[in-house]
A and B are shown apart, each in its own frame.
Chain A
Amino acid sequence: MLNEADIATLWLTFKVASIATVLMLLLGTPLAWWLARTQSRMKGIANALVALPLVLPPSVLGFYLLVLMGPKGLVGRLTTELGLGTLPFTFAGLVVASVLYSLPFVVQPLQTAFAAIGERPLEAAATLRASPLDTFFSVVMPLARPGFLTATILGFAHTVGEFGVVLMVGGNIPDKTRVVSVQIYNHVEALEYEQAHWLAGGLLVFSFTVLLLMYSVLKTQPVAHPIK
């Protein structure tokens, strides 16, 4: 059965994934909006950069983050200057790494949803003298709701399942950086297959339930169609 250490890793994973998802939505929404609407030549570069974590093996990304956020790295020196210390081996570092790693899973569904809305509803809102901000909250957000739901599901689920990056920048510290995927891996490495099964089974049930709930919400949502 699950012991106390196992349950602690589940709780920590939930915390990391929740915080990372909120941050990704805050960061990803303006980014996706810009990507969906810009004619800028930078668009291609920005798209490629956002999608990069999909291609890089997680342990490679993790290693670069370890170097970059370490005491000799660019980011590490900056955070030290700011009095924050260095990020590897901390909870905050884990959240930062997760955000970078899972961001494409949030940005891409949002970008697609925003692009699908088209010009018409925005023009209609503008003729009614809605400010751009007002348009975004009263027109775009409701229309893009399925996109937001998908982004939230994928961002959260992907962070729960991440392993290679966490292994690299985490340092496997109980209650701080030891998440459930690392704990399962450790059980397997130590040939404690029974505990690994319990934890992996728990994770599977948990993930399935979350996904099922979110997808049912998605299905029952009256999907607003853009005005033709």
Chain B
Amino acid sequence: MKFNTLIFLGLLLASSISQAATTLVAVASNFTKPMTEIAVAFEKATGHTANLSFGASGKFVAQLENGGPFEVFLSADEKNPKKLAQDDFAVADSQFTYAVGKLVLWSATPNYVDDQGKILSKGGFKHIALADPKLAPYGAAAVELMQGMELCDKLQPLFVQGENIAQTQQFISTGNAELGFLALSQVIENGKIASGSGWIVPDDKHKAILQDAILLKTGAENPAAQALMKFLKSPEALAIIQKYGYELPKEFKLPKAA
């Protein structure tokens, strides 16, 4: 009896293994939290597994062009996936925008940043942190905002630059920089800024931060990689993306909850 059960369980396991596949995903650091949650939902919905690797988008490009094993790439911008497609490492027509980033001016100190960002012109701080505008789209958007407010020349000497926005957040949360620019996703919890104080920068102050995904040639034949690309557009994934402070691309707007 026991033996039979074992065989049955073994067969069950074998059959599920034959259908479920695993895919290795390169994820831009700013998308760490939502993607972790999406991966769990993905596994539940499809039986496939997504193994996530987090890092800077530019580093992933260098790795991918030199034999990196990733099959799906969720970039922090649209430029990096485009380059991979041009260089023939990715499936060009698979590229799409999975999230639109929102910029926030944030401080670890409560009531320090007002909800209109007037603190920027008022001053009174020694350091303002941002991600390197040359490397990170959120850094570039921050510079564009400050240029629009004609404050860039005044604030530039106070800049401290993180190599990515995760590091930028460490500069601010340790209090070494009084305030700085981050992705809203880094400081949001349950739909609002979890601690400190922040100003969610209106979209019209800078070019849209489009974050694109692309299927790599290495994953073109993997059912798990293909399924993940599809799952990112599902209402379930979109709801998670929105919850973490991203705008949805126009073509995927969720129906308003009635």
Contact = CB atoms under 8 A, between A and B. Distances in A.
Given A72-B174, A89-B176, A168-B167, A173 B159 contact: yes
Query: Interface residues of B: mostly helix, strand, loop or mixed?
Result: mixed
Interface stretch (B127-135, B192-200, B212-220): B127-135
A172 B176 contact: no
Interface residues of A, number: 23
Contact of B134 (A67, A88, A190): A190
A86 B134 CA distance: 27
Interface of B: 56, 58-59, 61-62, 83, 127, 129, 132, 134-135, 159-163, 167, 170-171, 174-177
A89 B163 contact: no
A12 B161 CA distance: 17
Given A63-B170, A69-B176, A70-B175, 17 more contacts: A66-B171, A70-B174, A70-B176, A72-B174, A72-B175, A73-B174, A88-B176, A89-B127, A167-B167, A172-B132, A172-B160, A182-B163, A186-B163, A188-B59, A189-B59, A191-B61, A191-B83
A171 B171 contact: yes
A67 B61 contact: no
Interface of A: 63, 66-67, 69-73, 86, 88-89, 167-168, 171-173, 182, 185-186, 188-191
A106 to B, nearest CB: 28
A18 to B, nearest CB: 24
B89 to A, nearest CB: 13
17 contacts: A69-B176, A70-B175, A71-B175, A72-B174, A88-B171, A89-B160, A89-B177, A167-B167, A171-B161, A171-B171, A172-B132, A172-B163, A173-B159, A173-B160, A173-B161, A186-B132, A191-B83
